[in-house]
Amino acid sequence: MTYVIAEPCVGTKDASCQAVCPVACIIDVGDHFAIDPNRCVDCGACVSACPVSAVFAADRLPTEWADWTERNRRAAADAAPRGRGGARDREPC
């Protein structure tokens, strides 16, 4: 399981979640943050740190934000540098 940042983050983008992440898997993608599912260690520290309740365990993501799992994965893939073992170098699960 991994965590997903969903729509409530858009426009708010408070970096509290990023500050508590022990593995730096939360990335800035413009108007919101996203979690790199390949780097997330499932610690959950970001959940309580988020002031707008935008972080969910993937298996508890509200159905209206189901597409945010893929948005987080895609954002991480787009942010990964090519040729350095990042998400872009791997086949999707």
Hey, what domains does the chain have and what are their CATH numbers?
3-84 (3.30.70.20)
Per-residue pLDDT at 82: 55
Confidence at residue 90, expressed as pLDDT on a 0 to 100 scale? 43
pLDDT tens sequence for the chain (93 residues): 799 999 999 999 899 999 999 999 999 999 999 999 999 999 999 999 999 999 999 999 999 999 999 999 999 999 877 544 444 444 443
Contact residues for 3 (Cβ-Cβ < 8 A; gap 6+): 35, 40, 42, 44, 46, 47, 55, 56, 57, 58
pLDDT attached to residue 79: 86
